[in-house]
Structure 1
Amino acid sequence: MPLDALSASGATTTSAGLNKSKASIAENFDTFLSILTTQLKNQNPLEPLDTNQFTQQLVQFTSVEQQLKTNEYLEALILANQSVGQTQATSFIGKTVTASGANSELSGGQAEWSYSLQADAPKAYISIRDQSGRTVFSEQTSLGAGENTYVWDGVTNDGTSAGDGTYSITIDARNEEGQYVPVSTQTTGVVDGVDFGSYEPILIVGGARVKMSSVNSVSAN
């Protein structure tokens, strides 16, 4: 779907939701005003409306009016922020991003993940799964502490070459005593497009979908 169409779709969805809420409040506001006006017109001249009670109703009246104004300002703020977010997201197209996550795209016989280990892991168990969750490759290896990169050549456990697509990695890192070593994974790739179908822009990196909020770095190719 074209970017302008996706942008319009996202904005329309947000605006429609806000307009629905605003219409509901406005309906309640009109009902309240009608009831108050009718009450004033039909009050007993010999027993007029209690001043304290009338004051309380006016306060309620003002509160509803302020709520309407607040919703209008909120709508304008959300739409403005959404526009800024969409503009920022489209600027990522064609650039290489690194984002938190376990997914990466296998293309040209190579898939790459960045990972960070808090300590050396001489016993690290790596599993790579396809989009259906099936383990296609696994191995035991040794990983060093710090920021590193793991590259998979696409060769599966049975010796065949996996097809291009999105794959996820799981790293179970252990020290010499077999204790778990905390590890975080990141994926790197070129942004091909942006999906504005949800509230937060989603970057299309190969076939993977990456939330813009999970992006840790951006670099020009």
Structure 2
Amino acid sequence: MDIQSASAPGTTAATSAASAAANRDRTTLGQDEFMRMLITQLEHQDPLEPQDPTEFTAQLAQFSTLEQLTKIREGIDGLRSDEGAFSDVASLAGLVGRDVVIRSSMFEVDAGGAVPGLELDLAAPAEAVRVRVLNAAGIPVRTFDLGSLSSGRHALAWDGLASDGTPVPPGTYELRAESVSGANSTRLETLVHGTVDAVEPLAGGGASITVGPAHAASDAIVEVRRTPEPVASAPAVAATPVLAPAVEPLTEIAGS
């Protein structure tokens, strides 16, 4: 029995197909696919006519080259990502020290009891708006019922006092506003005024700014304002409201 004539056609065809597929796709296949093709080719080679060692060595060299090129490409992609992140940081670096308005709910009451500017931003009119100020432990220290409000931005005046009339301690607080309708409530967007303390790159690209305890992406910046420089000879003037309408007076919910 001629073993070669009986087995060679199938193994030769499989070897040729695997080799042709490898040659056709080697420029686009990744490392895993390339290795699978190489193993398949070895499994289907003719045992009486094994693959030429020189050709096999060349294929291994191609695989090594592919691996090196993949690492180089990943390195270049990483550099591009880093470059983009640092570019974003550089573009926002000029905001450090500037006054901004950002979309955030986190703010800080300083040691003197000063409260930064706070706002509500309603996309649509609301029949009943409830606002709570929560401390760092998530416990409400003051609750307000503002009634109905029109759409748009509304400045919120809070004196920094708790429900019992005592000043709240300095620290981080959260402003939580909701539109209430029966048993249902919808979270409303809040804005916080403050000074940019730092600009940092984000792991996935882009950059974020730090305003007190709040960290916000660049697209959360609503306004950038020039910080006025003090003039010693200028007489003091009353502060002019920057945004309207102001929601005053606030009606505190009984028992809060």
Task: Give 1 or 2: higher helix fraction.
Answer: 1
1:15 maps to which residue?
none
Matched, 1:186 2:186: no
Does the aligned pair in 2 maintain the 1:117–1:182 contact within 8 Å?
no
Q: Deviations over 1:3-28 (max 9, x none)?
A: xxxxxxxxxxxxxxxxxxxxxxxxx9
Q: Deviations over 1:25-71 (max 9, x none)?
A: xxx9xxx9xxxxxxxxxxxxx85527886675455334213202202
Q: Which amino acid aligns with 1:111?
A: P
**Residue 209 to residue 119, structure 1, CA distance change in 2 (3 Å):** closer
Matched, 1:70 2:73: yes
CA distance in 2, matches of 1:64, 1:53: 17
Which residue among 132, 136, 144 is the counterpart of 2:137? 132
Q: CA deviation at 1:129?
A: 0.6
**Residue 198 to residue 47, structure 1, CA distance change in 2 (3 Å):** closer
CA distance in 2, matches of 1:198, 1:61: 31
Report SS of the residue matched to 1:170: strand
Which residue among 162, 166, 169 is the counterpart of 1:163? 169
Matched, 1:92 2:92: no
1:153 maps to which residue?
159
CA distance in 2, matches of 1:179, 1:72: 51
Q: CA deviation at 1:211?
A: 4.0
Report SS of the residue matched to 2:78: helix
CA distance in 2, matches of 1:195, 1:65: 32
CA distance in 2, matches of 1:132, 1:52: 69
1:121 maps to which residue?
126
Name stretches of at least 5 consecutive residues in structure 2 with no aligned partner: 1-30, 36-48, 228-256
Report SS of the residue matched to 1:73: helix
Which residue among 103, 106, 115 is the counterpart of 1:110? 115
CA distance in 1, matches of 2:208, 2:226: 19
Q: CA deviation at 1:189?
A: 0.9
Does the aligned pair in 2 maintain the 1:94–1:190 contact within 8 Å?
yes
2:211 maps to which residue?
205
2:220 maps to which residue?
214
Report SS of the residue matched to 1:110: coil
Q: CA deviation at 1:196?
A: 6.0
After TM superposition, the structure 1 = structure 2 runs for residues 51-70 of structure 1, keeping only pairs within 5 Å, are 57=60, 59-70=62-73
Percent identity between matched residues is 19
Report SS of the residue matched to 2:95: coil
Question: Which one has the largest radius of gyration?
Answer: 2
Name which of structure 1's ranges 187-196 and 200-209 shifts more when overlaid on structure 2.
200-209
Name stretches of at least 5 consecutive residues in structure 1 with no aligned partner: 1-27, 33-45
**Residue 54 to residue 90, structure 1, CA distance change in 2 (3 Å):** same
TM-score (norm 1): 0.64
Report SS of the residue matched to 1:111: coil
Does the aligned pair in 1 maintain the 2:85–2:207 contact within 8 Å?
no
Report SS of the residue matched to 1:152: coil
